[in-house]
Structure 1
Amino acid sequence: MSSFRLGDKIDCAEGSCLEFKNHRAVTDSMLPQHKKGSAKPYSNVLNAFLNSDGGCLLVGISDKSYVKGIHLTIYQKLHMRMAIVDMFNRFQPRVTKDLYTVSFIPVLRPEGEYNNGEERLEDDEIPEDEDINRAHLLRSENPCWCDLQAKARKELCVLPPAYVVKISVKKGEQLYKNEEGLQFRRGHSSNMQQKKAIW
């Protein structure tokens, strides 16, 4: 799919190979305290996909299959990629890059709503040289500099484009534990923690 439309209901539901999330917490350490217990990090479902038949996580889609989108600047997109790579590198064993892909699919506004008279599909921001090499705050519920920058821009009514983030995972050739040492398998539309690792 080349784009989604904000507010549309997509023609599929969560199942054994598909999950929706509407937050940016890649790992448990990135979940704010007030969301722990109600929201689950990406790592659980991605671990379950690896240990089952593979699957696809769509971030920016509600549990009821409606397109919400996640607003991301170019730096926040980089941050998200880095957090996902960092997460997979902490799995046991480490997940190689040939087993997953990450893509950002633009979310279009409802018909008739445009930005300055035209639809924007991509973030046309050109990154600053000093920001390209700037360290990102990973593994923390505290905001990174890129989030603070986006918040400051939002207060000036400058909203970055919205995306659905698609994370596709192939079935692993072995069983994996996530970054917390937990192992999951995929059920119909849920993740089942394995009490004892089967090695």
Structure 2
Amino acid sequence: MELVFIRHGQGEHTLDIPSSLQIKDPSLTTKGVEQAKLLRNQIPLTNRDIIIISPIRRTLETAFIWSENIDCRKIVSPLVSPRMFPIRSDWESLPCDKIIDLEIIKNVYPTFEIDSKVPLNIWSDGINTLPENQFIKLAEEFIVNCKQLQKEKVYIVSHDGTITSYRQMISGQSLTRKDFLLETDWFQITC
């Protein structure tokens, strides 16, 4: 099975760093919307595809725009929500990386499924500051669940630190922040 990790389009939280990181629930910028539209040609979807999406507005918007008019399966999961890389257990999640309320997701994106296999504490706290051993346990379970979808490819719309954390865990390579993907770049890895 191939996992195709895609970083979300440009978000409002990246326009004036570090102060913009304090924005709660940032949306895509105009550029981010255009980047998401470009994904339609770069990675065309079909009705048979599956996208797993982080429960953060910028990733939900990216997936929604990219998959517009395609009736593929879209699953929202906190197991691909923001994650610090490298992990710093003494840091807290930034306001821009807080998971949005499930009711908001259900109301704004009614065709998106909610991953019901994930414990409620992960829905509220996310994976951003989980100790590495706890993240690896959840990530391994996530990959098993992806394999159970019985697809050749599973697309995952997520965040730079999260993607790099999964890449490092799956490949066994030691990665750094220099390995972060750019906005709407993607990385494909075999599991």
TM-score clears 0.5: no
Q: TM-score, normalised to structure 2's length? A: 0.31
The answer to which structure has the higher helix fraction is: 2
Higher gyration radius (CA)? 1
Q: TM-score, normalised to structure 1's length? A: 0.30
